Amino acid sequence: MSKPLKLGVAGLGTVGAGVLNLLRQNGDVIAARAGRPIEVVAVSARDRTRDRGVDVTGLAWHEDAVALAADPNVEVVVELIGGSEGPARRLVEAALAAGKPVVTANKALLATHGAALAQLSEAKATPLAYEAAVAGGIPAIKALREGLAGNRISRVAGILNGTCNYILTEMRVKGLPFDVVLKTAQELGYAEADPAFDIDGVDAAHKLAILAALAFGHQVDLKALHIEGIRNVSALDIALAGELGYRIKLLGIASQDEAGVTARVHPCMVPEASPIASVDGVFNAVLAEGDAVGRVVLQGRGAGAGPTASAVVADLVDIARGRTAPVWGAASATLATAPGLPMERHRGAYYLRLMVLDQPGVIADVTGALRDAKISLESMLQRGRAPGEAVPVVLVTHECEEAQMQSALARIAALPSVVEPPAMIRIEEL
């Protein structure tokens, strides 16, 4: 067996400790698959005294993470600090500049600085691997970059944020409102004290930007993404979706056709028979459609110490074996710059749920607004009667363009008999 591959690990939070533990616990099988042992020789974290559930005795300790890149004993840098700027970015840049391969779980960094980092990686012929950045332990990056390399990918989509999927699942199963479930999720550690990054869709958007760049061979373009989170999803809409045969999921979806690339993160209604409709709780799923392969769906745990460490170690085994790939699957010079299409150009079917006063003429006003926007209805559902009070009305449309829908929605929202802002959820046939 060859000599060990020596790592410097920056960040000893849940994931960092998980990586150290996994490398020790499965050292024998990892060495067999890597062709050589993989050993941590140096670490960096903010507080040296904190108990992390992992023994760091005998490892070099750097106060400054960036020093790992200069440590002559470190051959590969594992960046698990997180964040698109600061020490994470400086460490990754310094390591690549020094010709040291980098493994990272940092989706924000990749989504924000992916183009520049890919160029640096190529200029230095030094790999930058990030399987752990998307969908935790699911080998989605490898599947897209290598496993489907023969395909033109038309669509990539997924349940990319476990916090949102957990909240939506709990809301459905227990019939509870968003705020109540979010609070429980925070108590259980499934959601952060400041949950905005997850529940407003930003985390899913970072991951989708990475998947889209790999799938379509484009530079990441985070600014072209349409992003909506799950704050406005109500328990009522989840229940009504169930009656219509749908589940509500926060999806990231990127698709490409002749006109360009559409990339969006928002709550979706997916048919219950869809392979991703039943991916519940903290599980993630990634779906890809290729011209040769058809549809491939991968599912598994999207977060946590074990799954994320699994992905980090997979990248390390690749590096130990000399298995490398360009950051975005192809050399930067060959990447296209397809135009990002605005959300107004999205086409699809829509679910609308209105709270209307139960009085004559209301339905005529609402359907008239849709007719004027040239939107045709597939079905309408009015439940219960309460003369003079507000009752829910559900409308499901045929496919139309987002711009049409927005124009109709503006008129509907302004009707005096519509007493709450309309709920609109896009329907996806995945």
* Residues recognised as catalytic: 207
Of 275 and 348, CB closest to a second copy:
275
Taking the complex as a whole, how short is the minimal distance between the CB of residue 326 and a second copy, in angstroms? 8
Of 147 and 348, CB closest to a second copy:
147
Of 13 and 300, CB closest to a second copy:
300
* Residue type at 96 in one-letter notation: L
Of 256 and 404, CB closest to a second copy:
256
Taking the complex as a whole, how short is the minimal distance between the CB of residue 251 and a second copy, in angstroms? 17
Of 282 and 362, CB closest to a second copy:
282
Q: By the 8 A CB rule, do 319 and 127 touch? A: yes
Applying CB under 8 A, the residues found at the interface with a second copy are: 18, 22-23, 25-26, 29-30, 32-35, 131, 137-139, 142-143, 145-152, 217, 273, 275, 278-279, 290-301, 306-307, 309-314, 316-318, 321-326, 329-331, 334
Of 102 and 317, CB closest to a second copy:
317
Taking the complex as a whole, how short is the minimal distance between the CB of residue 252 and a second copy, in angstroms? 19
Taking the complex as a whole, how short is the minimal distance between the CB of residue 29 and a second copy, in angstroms? 6
Of 152 and 383, CB closest to a second copy:
152
404: left (phi over 0), alpha (psi -120 to 50) or beta: alpha
Taking the complex as a whole, how short is the minimal distance between the CB of residue 386 and a second copy, in angstroms? 37
Angle at the Cα of 395 from the Cα atoms of 389 and 396, rounded to 5 degrees: 165
3-state secondary structure the chain: CCCCEEEEEECCCHHHHHHHHHHHHCHHHHHHHHCCCEEEEEEECCCCCCCCCCCCCCCEEECCCCHHHHCCCCCEEEECCCCCCHHHHHHHHHHHHCCCCEEECCHHHHHHHHHHHHHHHHHCCCCEECHHHCCCCCCHHHHHHHHCCCCCEEEEEEECCHHHHHHHHHHHHHCCCHHHHHHHHHHHCCCCCCCHHHHCCHHHHHHHHHHHHHHHCECCCHHHCEECCCCCCCHHHHHHHHHCCEEEEEEEEEEEECCEEEEEEEEEEEECCCCCCCCCCCEEEEEEEECCCEEEEEEEECCCHHHHHHHHHHHHHHHHHCCCCCCCCCCHHHCECCCECCHHHCEEEEEEEEEEECCCCHHHHHHHHHHHCCCCEEEEEECCCCCCCEEEEEEEECCEEHHHHHHHHHHHHHCCCECCCCEEEEECCC
